[in-house]
Amino acid sequence: MHDDRSLVEARLRRVLDERVRPAVYPESVPLQVAVWHAPGEPVPVAEGLAAPPEPIEVGARWGVPWGTSWFRVTGTVPEEWAGRTVEAVLDLGFDENMPGFQCEGLVYRPDGTPVKGLNPRNQWVRIGAPVAGGEEVRLHVEAASNPVVLGGRGFRPTPLGERETAGHEPQYTLARMDLAVLDETVWHLVLDLEVLGELMAELPGESPRRYDILRAVDAALDALDLQDVGGTADAARARLTGVLSAPAVPSAHRISAVGHAHIDSAWLWPLRETVRKVARTTANMTALLDDEPDFVFAMSQAQQWAWVKEHRPEVWARVKKAVADGRFVPAGGMWVESDTNMPGSEAMARQFTHGKRFFLDEFGVENDEAWLPDTFGFAAGLPQIIRAAGTRYLLTQKISWSRTNRFPHHTFLWEGIDGSRVLTHFPPVDTYNCTMHGAQLAHAVRNFQDKGVARHSLVPTGFGDGGGGTTREMVAKAARLRDLEGSPTVVWETPSAFFAKAAAEYRNPPVWVGELYLELHRATLTSQAKTKQGNRRSEHLLREAELWAATAAVRTGFPYPYEELDRIWKTVLLHQFHDILPGSSIAWVHREARATYARIAGELEGIIDAAQGALAGTGTVPLTFNAAPHTRDGVPAGAAATPTTEGRTTLADRPGGGHVLHNGHLRVEIDGRGLVVSAYDVEADREAVAPGAAANLLQLHTDFPNMWDAWDVDEFYRNTVTDLTDAESVTAGEDGVSVRVVRSFGASRVTQVLSLPPGERQLVVDTEVDWHETEKFLKLAFPLDVHAERYASETQFGHVHRPTHTNTSWEAARFEACNHRFVRVAEPGWGVAVVNDSTYGHDVTRTVREDGGTTTTVRASLLRAPRFPDPETDQGVHRFRHALVPGASIGDAVREGWRVNLPQRRREGAGPVAPLVSVDRDAVVVTAVKLADDGSGDVVVRCHEAHGGRARATLTAGFAVAGAVLTDLLERPLEGGGVERDGERITVRLRPFQLVTLRLARA
């Protein structure tokens, strides 16, 4: 037989495009359209419905950037359409290739009831099936003219990310506003032909099944009269029945499809627009659930559910009903799909606490999976947090974006730093916006790396980011793929049902230990420095507010601010979303974030001041409040007392220029360039700075990645570097015991103050940068005389070790990584830590000198200047604090990291304030002291082992204790959660990095 495959396949494409798809709506009549443009920000629905519109014609331009237009469409169903299915087809000017990234609409009835969303691939509104004929149609569309920020030109600077700079020119052309007859037979024929054509293209050329489909498609096209598609569609479909009913082979891959619409809580749009994107999507999905009995939809991010509840109560009622039916599924159990690298220990725990509690309170639902398809890599401390929240599984897709190494598993056990394990699944379809296209499903089958031992994978299905979610076409395709020869089988299932099957079939999955590092988007650890500083400062202010408010509540009856703290925590958690905290959103988002952080800082300072005032009482005794988890200057952790700092610092001239700082513990030489050429540990008789090198070295790199400007730094950035060694001035500081250094470079200026606090073994470097560079990367380098093959970097509830060498491609790809408060490099018996108050990105490299020694260089990443999506990223004044700690053990690194982030507070009062709880071992770090969220008055204490070894410690309560139990993160007692208690003394035994939550009932 002659091979006519290409001929038939080309025929299928043309007939579908030019004859069959256009025949889905064979008859139409225009609707009358009028529009009212809201003058500013979005208005309430009642106001939009009542506003007086003006006529507008199809073909007219509309929609200034970030504007809202209310369209009113009216018409009458023709009498001759009686008995047929009629829809309104409303095209606002969509580009079908960009769902989620342009204009969108939400359709309302005249009484304000929301109907469904309008999106590029979802432009229809059902009028009747069938209609009687003569019905009056009146619909209102709240249309958002969101600009296309990421357009065809790629990652180019654009003013569209800020309302004030976006301009006022209309962006969209009203394309179609019709009433139309839907020919459901033709619609089904389209889906038949698409499914078979897409499947055929993925089958081997020599496959008999491919030829079976080819002949059937050819026959169907022969049966189709191209001048009467509607009249012959049934005949064409009949010729496809055989190939569509052939069952899948027993060994076929099993796909659990989950309806989904991944919605970034902010990204190329502000938070207020996400509120509306979620409303449109949930309106769509509840409508689709009504129409499709097999369909299941899952939505993550409790914050987005809360937005629907607050802003769209009519949609919320439909959502609650669908949840009760088990078909609209709360997923993930987190407040938002947050970044997981940068949030601190407590913040990461609270993501689960607030997320899971919302779903429990609203629906009585506790889901088993963490759902983070788009997060930019996963910290090694996360498995323990997931398990401590009562969750067992994790789903993500993002690691498939790695550019260097292919991850070796799709279903596996992920082990964290404490030994906790979580069953993890990476959907091999490699997208969280699947459309049920045959190429996507075939890729999932080919790509799945656990063949032979596992057969199931999950496929999130639907358009995200306001694209409208799952479409009726996707559901129709899935129905045809339920049991189809040559294809994986497809069934709609909840995430929990999928994970139950995956766990059952894969009894001994492989194990991956340590962080899940994304070999991409490394610059998100640095971009938008003020957003990151706002997050770090908020986390520590919340710690202080809870600690002092709880202490004051127990000691003085101070009213514990439950509602305020709950609201502020949720605000901070929202801003940890994986495009806000990473700095990859438009200017509007980060401008609002800065204002939000300033506002909540003021609120938290007020809570702290009031609580400390209640504790201190009236008097003139000088008190220092120490919120850090370690004793400082004689003041116990979580207490207030008069400090007992001893020692003094001297400042002298250095021969050859510069200055020498000395406090008896460290002797630091700063040369005439303002660089640290010596940091001598007196007790250890050991120099920290590598021979011939200089620390406190600012280095400037060209930074122009190949794409993803705010997200990426490509390794070639290191090829070009400028050492900023020229100083305008190097002088004694105003206090007489510090050194002030001023430098200028490009259009920017840096002022640094180097100081040596009395009695402490650390050099503090305060850096102020007035930054006005473009596409540059600023680093602060500390070349150290340390021979280290690995280094420690703080993460949630512990630290992770990373190699300093690049033996493998995996190690070479980790050229920029995340730390929280410290990085430490060490030889046996001696190490050096670099601690910080607000930076996350860093790199550690090693070289061997001519003298045979090893220089290990730690560099903190300070600032970048990408131009997309915010062309003014990081312009302006920034302040950072770092400290170099020679001779630091891991315990020293932990302690100094906390101290630099929790400065002491001073005031006068009646006398010392004892800690509410204390621990007798520094290795056991208390991360939270608070009152229980249920308002019972119980005291909740969370602590963890921080040094990486086993620890036995005694926790002593500063109040009468009636009972103590171990709990999960939601403060629920654990089975077998009893503890050793002797009055107010509780014994805890911890494995390395283990976290525990204790609930103490007050007598």
686 neighbors 680 (Cβ within 8 angstroms): yes
Tokens representing residue 782 in the block: 């500390």
Q: Is the dihedral of CA 265, 271, 273, 278 positive or negative?
A: positive
Burial (0-12, 13-18, 19+ Cβ within 10 Å), 644: exposed
Nearest to 261 by CA among 315, 295, 318, 300: 300
Strand partners, 884: 763, 834
Sign of torsion over alpha carbons 351, 354, 355, 360: positive
CA distance 669 to 656: 11
CA 324 to chain centre: 28
Residue 444 token pair: 């999932």
**881 pairs with which residues across the strands?**
766
Neighbours of 901 (CB within 10 A): 22
Rounded Cα–Cα distance for residues 751 and 768 (Å): 5
| Active-site annotation holds for 723 | no
For 24, other C-beta atoms within 10 Å of its C-beta total 23
What count of other Cβ atoms lies within 10 Å of the Cβ of residue 739? 24
What is the CA 281 to chain-centroid distance, rounded? Answer: 20
Residues 823, 884 contacting (CB under 8 angstroms): no
Judge contact between 36 and 52, C-beta under 8 A. Answer: yes
Minimal CA–CA distance to 142: which of 44, 55, 61? 44
DSSP string, 939-959: EEEEEEE-SSS-EEEEEEESS
Alpha helices in 151-205 (DSSP H): 184-202
Q: What are the phi and psi torsion angles at 557 (to 5°)?
A: 80, 15
Which of 876, 931, 950, 46 has its CA nearest to residue 419? 950
Residues in a beta bridge with 827: 830
Residue reference for tokens 């929301």: 114
| Amino acid in position 571 | T
- Of the candidates 374, 714, 766, 837, the residue annotated as catalytic is 374
Q: Indicate the burial class of 687 (C-beta count within 10 angstroms; 0-12, 13-18, 19 or more).
A: middle
For residue 907, the surrounding DSSP H or E stretch is strand 905-909
What are the structure tokens assigned to 200, written together? 């055929």
Cis peptide before 691 (omega within 30 of 0): no
Q: What is the DSSP string of 797-827?
A: TEEEEEESS-SSHHHHH-SSEE-SSEEEEEE
Residues annotated as part of the active site = 374
